[in-house]
Amino acid sequence: MYSAWTLKYKPKSLSEIVGNTSAINLFKEWVKSWDTAVPKQRAAFLYGPSGIGKTVTVEALANDLNMEFIEKNASDYRTEEAINKFAGLASRYSSLFGVKRLILLDELDGLTGNADRGGIKAITEIVKKAQAPIILIANNAYDSRFTTLRNYCLLIEFKKPTTIEVLKYLMQLCRKEEIHAEENALKLIAHRSGGDVRSAVNDLQALAQGKKQLKYEDVAWLSYRDRQDTIFNVVRMAMYSRTCSVAKQSVDLADIDIDMLFEWIYENVPYHFTDPRDLVKAMESLAMADLYRGKIRATQDWSFLRYVIDYMTAGVCMARQHSKVGWVPFKFPTRIQSLSRSKAERALQLSIGAKIKPKFHISAKRSLTEVLPFISVIFRNNPQKAADIAQWLDLTEEMIIHLAGTEEKAKAIIALLE
């Protein structure tokens, strides 16, 4: 059974948190100061973008200090009456068994509208009198709703980890999963995550789970991803929505064209529809969508597009009747990856052809058809002569690897060059 790596490798100690060392140290010192006296600021307000470790930092600190951890969601306490029920938790530093208590009120951004104003006011009153450390979490602590509340809180900003910090963490996960990953592949995942560690881990799992190697070409088209609404969320919405209208809305959230979205859904349906009856219906809907895609290509009549969208989203999600709902990683479309690889190979071959062209005084096209096959044979069988040719043509390391066929043979040629 699959398990999400974000849960499997969830930090249990502060030493495992990625980035934000200064913020974490400040937070830790504030909590420990309660052992001496009640501090002037009885609440710590942790703020910053989603996915960078605010909540898990609180959980890890409670674990490190062996404290009773109480977590509540602010959206569950939207009124003054509901918040007051929560006040008793903050009235004592220790529980009935003498264990020190740490109270987290998460997702403060979820308090919106007139009905919540009493809730924010009540939270402020609780913070003023708290006898236990209270931690508040929001993306933006400087929202006008929190103006008064901020006066009674220690503000601690959490920033996005650097690409290098995320990269090192991904390397650790690959070692634990015994996956040999190319550094430039992990670097692309880390860069595309934009500092969102949770998103980076999800991407890595989707790309690498079940593999022993992860190459750059396996992740190269992450550049097509839209970080605001990731393609994973879009595909999940298309396949798991309970209504047709919601499923169809997924198309509006995807920053990719319809053909690309079709490939994503087509690739993932067999893994997410566990019941054969559901799978047949879903694939029939995709077949109809593909039929209308063909009509569009043949006639350029884009009025057929609405049928493509209906079948590939609403048709697919309504096919789910008996399939079990569980966590299954989304897979990148293999057909698109194959096209991406072949495109990269063609570009590399053209570059080699451009190197051959002036030496043989022939066109690049003739270079590819008449000369390149013979050079490839030499590179795969005679390292010394291959090294001479590589030097003569001024080939790059990437070109040598392509012509040699394997990295082992390429290393032998490069060693002779050096």
Tens-place pLDDT, residues 266-313? 888 888 898 899 999 999 999 999 999 888 888 878 888 889 889 999
Tens-place pLDDT, residues 153-186? 889 898 888 888 888 999 988 888 888 888 888 8
Tens-place pLDDT, residues 193-207? 778 888 888 888 877
pLDDT exceeds cutoff 60 at 341: no
pLDDT at residue 281 in the model: 93
Could you give the percent of the chain with pLDDT greater than 70? 82
- The string of DSSP codes covering 129-155 is H-SS-EEEEES-TT-GGGHHHHTTEEE
The mean pLDDT value for 316-330 works out to 81
Q: Are strands 101-106 and 68-73 parallel, antiparallel or unpaired?
A: parallel
- The residue that leads in pLDDT, 81 or 242, is 242
For 372, counting Cβ atoms within 10 Å of its Cβ (0-12 exposed, 13-18 middle, 19+ buried), the class is middle
The mean pLDDT value for 125-142 works out to 84
pLDDT band at 315; cut points 50, 70, 90:
very high
Please give the sequence-ordered ranges of beta strands (E in DSSP) within 74-127, or none if there are none: 101-106
Class of domain 20-157: alpha beta
3-state helix, strand, coil split of the chain in percent (to 5) is 65, 10, 30
Could you tell me which residues come within 8 angstroms of residue 107 by beta carbon, excluding any fewer than 6 positions away?
Answer: 73, 74, 75, 137, 138
Following CA atoms 52, 58, 63, 65 in sequence, which dihedral angle do they give, to the nearest 10 degrees?
130
Q: b/e string for 113-149 if b means 16 or more Cβ within 10 A?
A: eeebebbbebbbebbeebebbbbbbbeebebebbeeb
Domain ranges, ordered by start, for the chain: 20-157, 163-222, 231-332, 336-417
Q: Which fold has domain 163-222?
A: Helicase, Ruva Protein; domain 3 (1.10.8)
Give the C-alpha separation, 202 to 170, whole Å: 11
For the whole prediction, is pTM greater than 0.85? no
Give the C-alpha separation, 317 to 247, whole Å: 7
Give the C-alpha separation, 81 to 74, whole Å: 13
pLDDT at residue 87 in the model: 58
Q: b/e string for 222-261 if b means 16 or more Cβ within 10 A?
A: beebeeeebbbebbebbbbbeeeeebbebbeebebebeeb
Tens-place pLDDT, residues 50-76? 778 888 888 898 888 888 887 776 655
Residue 42: C-alpha distances to residues 32, 118, 122, 147 (Å): 12, 20, 15, 16
- The string of DSSP codes covering 361-382 is TS-HHHIIIIIHHHHHHHHHH-
